[in-house]
Structure formats: C-alpha cells, structure tokens
Amino acid sequence: MSVLSQLNVIRVSGLTKRVSTLEGSLTILSDINFSVKSGESVAIVGASGSGKSTLLSLLAGLDVASQGDVHLDGEALSKLDEEARARVRAEKIGFVFQSFMLVQSLTALENVMLPAELAGDHDARAQAIELLEKVGLSHRLEHYPSQLSGGEQQRVAIARAFIGSPKILFADEPSANLDSKNGHLIENLLFDLNKQNGTTLVLVTHDEQLAKQCQRILHIEGGQLEKISEGVTANVG
Ligand SMILES: Nc1ncnc2c1ncn2[C@@H]1O[C@H](COP(=O)(O)OP(=O)(O)OP(=O)(O)O)[C@@H](O)[C@H]1O
Ligand SMILES: [Mg+2]
C-alpha cells in the first residue's frame, strides 16, 4: 500500500451516478471530488433528495458509479466485482443504513453477531452482547426487529456496524429516530470509536450540532459538492 493511500483512506474522483428512469437518464451525483484522511471525521449534509445516501452507498461499494471512482484504503472499487467489494466491506467497513436493514428472522443479538460470525470470529457473541449493552439494549437481546421500536432498531443497526472494530464507519442519519438522551449516547459512541480506535467516520446527518462535531462538513446540493467547511473540532487533537 502506498503512503498516499494510507493517508487518504477514501479518495473520490469524478464520481458521477446516473440512473435510467421512465423520463430518461437522471444524474443523481455529478463529478464529486474529495479525500478523507485516516482517522478523520466527516459529515455529509444537504437537503432531502440531494444525493447523500447515494454518495454514502458509492463510498462503501454498495452501489457502482456511472463514472469516476472511489479508492477505499488503496483499492479502486470500480475495478472490483461484487464479490470483491463484499470482501472489502467485510474487512474494513461498518455501515449504518438509513432504513436499518436488519434481518427480520434474527434476534437483535443474532443481527449484531452476524458480521463477526461471517468473518469467523469465535468471540462474536460476547462482543455483540457488549455492544448491545453500550447502546442501552441489554434488555432486548432476544427481541426480533418487529418487536423493537424504530429507535431500538436503529441502535441494533449501530451495534452491528461497530462489531469487528471496522477501519471505516459509514452512518446514514444515525440519530434520526432517537430521543435526545439516546441520540447523545450514539453520538458519544461514534466519536469515542473515532478517537480511541482511529476509526474513520463518515456520517450523513440533518443534525447541525452533530455535523459540527465532525472535523469537516461536505455540503451536497442537487448532486454536486457545493463546498467543504470545517467543524468546530477541526483544530482539536
Ligand atoms: N434508483 C433510483 N432511481 C431513480 N431515482 C433515484 C434512485 N435512487 C435515488 N434516486 C433519486 O436521487 C435523489 C437522491 O437520493 P438520495 O437517497 O441519495 O437522497 P438523500 O440526500 O439521501 O435524501 P434524504 O435526506 O431524504 O435521505 C433523489 O431525488 C431520489 O429520488
Ligand atoms: Mg438519505
């Protein structure tokens, strides 16, 4: 791995996403360029429909670009097939989906254990219990997603993203469904992970306070990167 790729754990160049619709081709993201350094925290903000979730999916290799590329920890995602991108995700990434994406047939505990079990981690159960305790859900281990509130499902999804201590954590509106107490709990968890483990944090949020806690803020408007501003913690550490 080159020194450059170690420094910039995410490198985005000319990233463009088009989809075909009944009305013709629609450009959702247009020529996005930026880099994220290892250990950095970055917020992505913008109006509803501006392309934030699409960008996050492309960064994590969950979706493929129409043009341009994402280099993730030195690997060009456009050169990888679906299986190879899944491997990169399993090895390096935690992802919190806007819609949680929990497996409905598994309990909270089993959902959190799943990525670690797939990675062959013998310690999956203990790790998952510890993480569910951290998100305040030790009393809901055996509940299925349908038996959990929206905010509880969100916290299970966050615990799942944390398991295996990923190098990069992507979170799409991680505190959107939470009350202020649980919102703070999750924010503290995210930034603790960022500071203690050096996890690179990229999160989409409508919460200005949360965005400002990040070192940099990317402003997306109509599928374009309008500007990059500094958060309040930019000069700390
Ligand atoms: N597969 C698709 N086909 C057609 N249009 C799409 C598709 N995926 C996304 N879009 C459109 O692209 C735009 C960006 O969607 P995206 O989900 O990235 O927005 P967002 O910024 O995350 O919004 P929100 O804040 O509401 O979550 C939206 O207008 C959406 O309707
Ligand atoms: Mg979204």
Residue 122 has pLDDT above 70, yes or no: yes
pLDDT of residue 237: 45
Instruction: Evaluate: CB of 28 within 6 angstroms of ligand 1.
Output: yes
Residue 50 has pLDDT above 60, yes or no: yes
**CA 182 to centroid of ligand 1, rounded, Å:** 27
Greater confidence (233 vs 8) lies with 8
Task: For ligand 1, say whether the CB of 14 is within 6 Å of any of its atoms.
Answer: no
Check if 53 has its Cβ closer than 6 Å to any atom of ligand 1. Answer: yes
For the cut 80, the answer to whether the pLDDT of residue 119 exceeds it is yes
What percentage of the chain reaches a pLDDT higher than 70? 95
Write down all domains in the chain, each with its CATH number in brackets: 38-62+81-230 (3.40.50.300)
Could you give the CA distance from residue 64 to residue 29 in angstroms, rounded to a whole number?
12
What's the rounded mean pLDDT across residues 7-32? 96
- Closest ligand to the CA of 44: 1
Mean pLDDT throughout 111-129? Answer: 94
Is 44 a residue whose pLDDT tops 60?
Answer: yes
Q: What is the mean pLDDT of the chain?
A: 93
Q: Give residue 197's pLDDT.
A: 86
pLDDT at position 140, please?
Answer: 98
Provide the pLDDT for residue 232: 83
